[in-house]
Amino acid sequence: MTDTSFTPRVFSGIQPSGNLTLGNYLGAVKRFVDMQNAGIETIYCMVDMHAITVWQDPADLKRNTRELAAAYIACGLDPAKSILFNQSQVPAHAELGWILNCVTRLGWMNRMTQFKDKAGKNAEKMSLGLYAYPSLMAADILIYKATHVPVGEDQKQHVELTRDIAAKFNHDFKVDFFPQPEPIIDGAGTRVMSLRDGTKKMSKSDPSDLSRINMTDDADTIAKKIRKAKTDAEPLPDNMDDLADRPEARNLINIYAGLSGQTPADVIKEVAGQQFGQFKPLLADLAVAHLSPIADEMRRLMDDVSEIDRILGDGANRAAEIAEPILAEVFDIVGFVRSR
């Protein structure tokens, strides 16, 4: 249900943990751009405070934050239209995060599947931050009273948790303060799978570089990874239902659809009957035509780090202007004395 009593405002974020992938692009950044160009107020963050929930080398974190900013801009985010900044420059995220830690119930956190996936059998060795991270993510969204959150499918549970946290805050303090933000997850590419295993998400942390297309890959690398992508021996059918048990084939069709702006059903009609030997070069050409200019632009932007830092600083100032009055109201609602 859309909450109509709040002004539409979009918030989303990506972790600057390196290797921005085609999954991030199709699942997130491409849709960030669409929403920006639809004329809605858009705020997009590089969530460096989320990144450090697992170890990050400090020099790499700085470089990856700037590279993610370059990727946002190269993909079409315009610092004049969208607020672009890194999370740690707006302390209100952490401050609201603490308050929401005190609203969120342990039982809710224990249901988060991403923590279970990331921690595996090593939960005892994970940081407290990794466990608490969904509550900081709720703060990221709610500190702007954002109403819409474009994310890939893997983040849906966290946005639903954000709705529960917002509702509990409103209920506990008897206010109608936070909106119920909606996850925006639609179209092809909301779940891009590994090129080596169609049942696993394409991920920046997969040990095999062949499993993913990085936004910084050059044309030859993109073509090679698609040529080597795992497939099966059957030709392509003329409908998506027949791909139900062929995860690798389905993934390549989805990627084609995401890049070309078609639906998977339209793509499969076009390529019906083709062998992968025919289809893969088409996909490689499409991917190179789409991604190479973005990689070139990223390299160009990375040559001027001080300009990137200026954009992030300016974005952080504009973000703080929205966040600080909301945080002040939260402090009043919670009962904190504010006297300076």
Hey, which residues are catalytic here?
Answer: 118, 201, 204
CB-wise, 154 or 197, nearer to ligand TRP?
154
Nearest alpha carbon to residue 139 among 42, 16, 50: 50
Size of the site for ligand AMP (CB under 6 A): 16
For the bound state, the minimum distance from the C-beta of residue 58 to ligand TRP, rounded and expressed in Å, comes to 20
Separation of alpha carbons 150 and 138, rounded Å: 14
What residue is closest to ligand TRP based on CB?
A: 13
Q: Does 166 bind ligand TRP (CB under 6 A)?
A: no
What does the angle CA 157 – CA 160 – CA 163 come to, to the nearest 5 degrees?
Answer: 155
Q: Choose among ligand AMP, ligand TRP, none what residue 141 binds, the Cβ cut-off being 5 to 8 Å by kind.
A: ligand TRP
For the bound state, the minimum distance from the C-beta of residue 117 to ligand AMP, rounded and expressed in Å, comes to 11
* Site track for ligand TRP across 50-89, x = CB under 6 A: x---------------------------------------
What does the angle CA 153 – CA 158 – CA 163 come to, to the nearest 5 degrees?
Answer: 115
Q: Choose among ligand TRP, ligand AMP, none what residue 11 binds, the Cβ cut-off being 5 to 8 Å by kind.
A: ligand TRP
Q: Choose among ligand AMP, ligand TRP, none what residue 53 binds, the Cβ cut-off being 5 to 8 Å by kind.
A: none
Q: Does 192 bind ligand AMP (CB under 6 A)?
A: yes
Structural contact between residues 51 and 61, judged by C-beta atoms closer than 8 angstroms:
yes
Length of the chain: 340
- Counting Cα atoms < 13 Å in the Cβ hemisphere of 299 gives 9
Separation of alpha carbons 115 and 155, rounded Å: 12
Q: Does 165 bind ligand TRP (CB under 6 A)?
A: no
Question: What is the full DSSP assignment across 141-185?
Answer: HHTTT--EEE--GGGHHHHHHHHHHHHHHHHHTT---S--PEEE-
Out of 81, 168, 204, 299, the residue judged to bind ligand AMP by CB under 6 A:
204
For the bound state, the minimum distance from the C-beta of residue 71 to ligand AMP, rounded and expressed in Å, comes to 11
Q: Choose among ligand AMP, ligand TRP, none what residue 149 binds, the Cβ cut-off being 5 to 8 Å by kind.
A: ligand TRP
- The b/e string for 316-325 (b: 16+ C-beta within 10 A; e otherwise) is bebbbebbee
Structural contact between residues 100 and 78, judged by C-beta atoms closer than 8 angstroms:
no
Q: What is the DSSP letter of 124?
A: G
Structural contact between residues 128 and 101, judged by C-beta atoms closer than 8 angstroms:
no
Footprint of ligand TRP on 130-159 (CB under 6 A): 137, 140-141, 149, 151, 155, 158
Separation of alpha carbons 199 and 285, rounded Å: 25
Q: Choose among ligand TRP, ligand AMP, none what residue 137 binds, the Cβ cut-off being 5 to 8 Å by kind.
A: ligand TRP
- Given the rule CB under 6 A, which residues bind ligand TRP? 11-15, 47, 50, 137, 140-141, 149, 151, 155, 158
- Given the rule CB under 6 A, which residues bind ligand AMP? 14-15, 23-24, 27-28, 151-152, 154-155, 190-192, 201-202, 204
